[in-house]
Amino acid sequence: MIHFDAPAAAHLLRRLQFGVTPAEVDRAVRDGLHATLERLFTPQPESAEFLASQAALKDAAVATASIQDLKAWWLHRMAGTANPVTEKMTLFWHNHFATSAVKVQSVPMMVEQNDLFRNLGAGSFRQLLTAMARDPAMLVWLDGNANRKRHPNENFAREVMELFALGLGNYTEHDIQEAARAFSGWHLRDGRFWFNDSQHDDTAKTVFGKTGRYDGQAIIDLCLDHPACPKFLAFKLLRTFVTTEPSGPQVERIAGLFVKHDLAFAPVLREVCSSDEFYAAEVRGSIIKSPVELILGTLRPLCERIRWPAVRDLAAQLGQDVFAPPSVKGWDGGRQWVHATAWIQRWNFLSDVTGSDRYGHFRSEVREQIQQHPREWVTALFAVPLADTMHTAISALAPDERLPFALSLPEYQLM
């Protein structure tokens, strides 16, 4: 049985939102695990102030066609939303279906794709993958208009098998070639999906050993019904929300949940967060924070009047430029986040949080709370418990030196 104490509550919140405060930990412990999960996975109303700020930022980005402004809009949304799990899942799918505005060159298309992740990401992967195959940004990103009857383009067919639904080793080159023919004619016209019948190959194709006059939707259905699909999704979910090195039995168990829930994402994630293994000691602190998780997870609990352009630029400098993943494979994550240069930049950011207004104004009430209740803040901020000797060392420092020192510890980079 799960002992849902303050460290366990902080662990859950840390994995499902961006940053944690002692007040949020207290509420979770008071409510209990079941009620906390019910709240986190149930849509909550957004404040009028948040909605107004969001609308202004998005309207400005669309009006100026500035992808830089759109990046600031999404980072603001991730930090300020009353529905953090939705934004965590949106970020997950953005990395899964990694699409870059550098090639798409359209703010409206990137907004549409981002909203698609937000609206469909919690539901069935069947619906999401089907929608992504017709998504305008994806059609530009993977050269949909280049896929014609006489000259099939394999880009989308390859990625739907390798990166989106099945993973390496679960298809052949022949499967890709045949699937590419099935997707021929899935084009973009006037910024919308268009089935170009004149460029569609309607002849028989053989995929996964089955033959038929398949179109793109039939290929999607074949991939979704492939036994590798739930295992592939299970591995991706576990690596993002539980542990960077999922075991074979873990993958099999979560794959079973995906089958049970017809490939729906949120119900599986919720069951995972209700399991004993999610709270195991070896799972806590097993993931290195991504730049977005580090930045927002620090600023949201500690700062106000956040400077979003500076935050946007910092995320890019640290290696996670939202709306501009490095390739169709997305961000590798893990130790790639903390190479030598990035480590120095991370440390500089954490120093700036407590020592300047470069990224936001440090909340005066938080400074007082940390001085009065240091252990509660350590529980909220750190994924792994600090040794008693470290608590003693922190307490021995001058009050204004305690938080900068604590944030400089390597343990703060973990979640």
Return the amino acid letter for 388. Answer: D
Q: Mean pLDDT over residues 339-343, rounded?
A: 91
Provide the pLDDT for residue 371: 83
Q: pLDDT digit string (tens) for 208-246?
A: 999 999 999 999 999 999 999 999 999 999 999 999 999
Provide the pLDDT for residue 172: 98
What's 276's DSSP letter? G
Strand spans (E) along 88-198: 186-189, 192-195
Beta-strand pair 205-207/192-195: unpaired
**pLDDT bucket at 394, cuts 50 / 70 / 90:** confident
CA dihedral 64, 68, 71, 72 (to 10 degrees): -80
Q: Is 370 a residue whose pLDDT tops 90?
A: no
First to last CA, the chain: 23
CA distance 171 to 90: 28
CA distance 56 to 395: 44
CA dihedral 284, 290, 293, 297 (to 10 degrees): 70
Q: Is 78 a residue whose pLDDT tops 90?
A: yes
Q: pLDDT digit string (tens) for 87-124?
A: 999 999 999 999 999 999 999 999 999 999 999 999 99
Provide the pLDDT for residue 202: 97
Q: pLDDT digit string (tens) for 348-361?
A: 999 999 999 999 99
Element (H, E) at 212: strand 210-212
CB atoms within 10 A of CB 133: 21
Provide the pLDDT for residue 211: 98
Say what percent of the chain tops pLDDT 90: 92
Query: Strand, coil or helix: what is 305?
Result: coil
Q: pLDDT digit string (tens) for 247-299?
A: 999 999 999 999 999 999 999 999 999 999 999 999 999 999 999 999 999 99
CA distance 208 to 225: 11
Which tokens sit at 56?
A: 């202004």
CA distance 172 to 183: 17
Provide the pLDDT for residue 396: 87
User: What is the value of pTM for the model shown?
Assistant: 0.97
Residues with Cβ < 8 Å from 187, sequence gap 6 or more?
Answer: 139, 144, 145, 147, 193, 194, 195, 196, 199
17, 39 Cβ separation under 8 angstroms: no
